Amino acid sequence: MQTLPLGRARRPAEPRATHRPPAPSRRAHNARTPRRRAFTLIELLVVIAIIALLIAILLPTLAGARNAAKATLDLANLRSLGQGLEMYASEEQSFPALRLPRGEVHENTGRPRARWQWSIGDYVGQPYTPRGGDEYDDFINGRNPIARIDNRVFMDPTHTLDDFIGDDGEVQALRNGSYGYNYHYLGNSRGEAPDGGPANYPVRDSRIFFPAETISFADTNGNQNKVRDRGIREHGYTIDPPRLDTDHNNAQSFAQDDGKSPADARHMGRANVAFLDGHANPMTLEEMGYIVLDRENNLVAHDAGDNSLWNGKNADKDATR
């Protein structure tokens, strides 16, 4: 039997509670909780004004980011075209014609008098593939209307097909396209030589001493007079250097008789430019050798400037400023 220590008595056990205290009534709880206050009209207008201000601040930033993304994609296109030209030159030991002379046909597609896009297309994918019998018939017979581009590497992402409408009112997605070729020094197939033959074609790659300093393709503006006066990009597939250089390449004229086709500084004040070694950079018109007369309208001097980055020599003793 267990004994308790002396001086300590067992305390009687406390009775267990058999019920909980009553909860306060809902009415009493609501009486202690303050009611939520709704927005006043003035507060609501202030919130709306703040949101509108934030949108106004952010919209230019978002537009700038969108434009920067398009410029980056455009630069990637130029780099691809430049690398395609590099592969063409490595295989052919020369550069493609601006447009094949009369009677010549592009072997891989059957396109007569094919422009430079088809030669480069052998390496980066063709810009256009005929769909159906009617399109194929137009294609192999050299008819011009090509109203789309199937390979987006030939199209600046800022352009739509409506940008490529020329003098005839039809979409000419390649003739009036996004990118121009430095044909004066690399493949001027026009009959401007003293003997009536091609002015400067074929051009052997051995004639280019500084490929990393020689422009191959660039964002082009088409005929600058027609772009300014009528809003059309006539002959956008060409790109003219700052000056004619008849002594070295027999060039008697620019892309069109009534105006040259310069680079187009359409991406944040710069044109994207590809070089013969395959690299590409954004450049100002001045960096390309042009003398700018009207920056807003992309207007350059008609026959003045520095051809150092165009002629393969990285120098121009006849440059004008």
Per-residue pLDDT reduced to its tens digit, 147-160: 999 999 999 999 99
Average pLDDT over the chain reads 89
Strands 280-283 and 179-181: unpaired
Length of the chain, in residues: 321
Answer yes or no: is pLDDT of 314 > 60: yes
Q: What is the structure's pLDDT at 145? A: 79
Q: Distances in Å between the alpha carbon of 119 and those of 98, 99, 102, 109, 148?
A: 10, 10, 16, 10, 18
Q: What is the structure's pLDDT at 106? A: 97
Confidence of residue 16 (pLDDT cuts 50, 70, 90): low
Contacts of 233 (CB under 8 A, 6+ apart): 163, 164, 166, 176, 177, 220, 221, 222, 223, 226, 227
Lowest mean pLDDT among 17-21, 163-167, 280-284: 17-21
Model pLDDT for residues 59-113, shown as the tens digit of each residue: 777 777 888 899 999 999 999 999 999 999 999 999 999 999 999 999 999 999 9
Q: What is the structure's pLDDT at 35? A: 63
- Residue found by looking up tokens 């199937």 in the block: 150
Answer yes or no: is pLDDT of 118 > 90: yes
Q: What is the structure's pLDDT at 13? A: 55
Q: Which of 18-22, 31-35, 144-148, 306-310 has the highest mean pLDDT?
A: 306-310
Measured N-to-C along each axis, helices 116-124 and 41-92 cross at an angle, to the nearest 10 degrees, of: 100
Q: What is the structure's pLDDT at 302? A: 92
The helix (H) or strand (E) run that includes residue 60 is: helix 41-92
Lowest mean pLDDT among 37-51, 73-87, 168-182: 37-51
Q: Which of 60-69, 116-125, 142-151 has the highest mean pLDDT?
A: 116-125
The helix (H) or strand (E) run that includes residue 236 is: none
Answer yes or no: is pLDDT of 31 > 60: no
CA dihedral over 174, 179, 180, 182, signed as positive or negative: negative
Lowest mean pLDDT among 3-7, 10-14, 158-162, 285-289: 3-7
Q: Find the mean pLDDT for residues 159-174.
A: 93
Answer yes or no: is pLDDT of 1 > 50: no
Q: What is the structure's pLDDT at 37? A: 67
Answer yes or no: is pLDDT of 128 > 50: yes
Domain ranges of the chain: 53-95+157-305
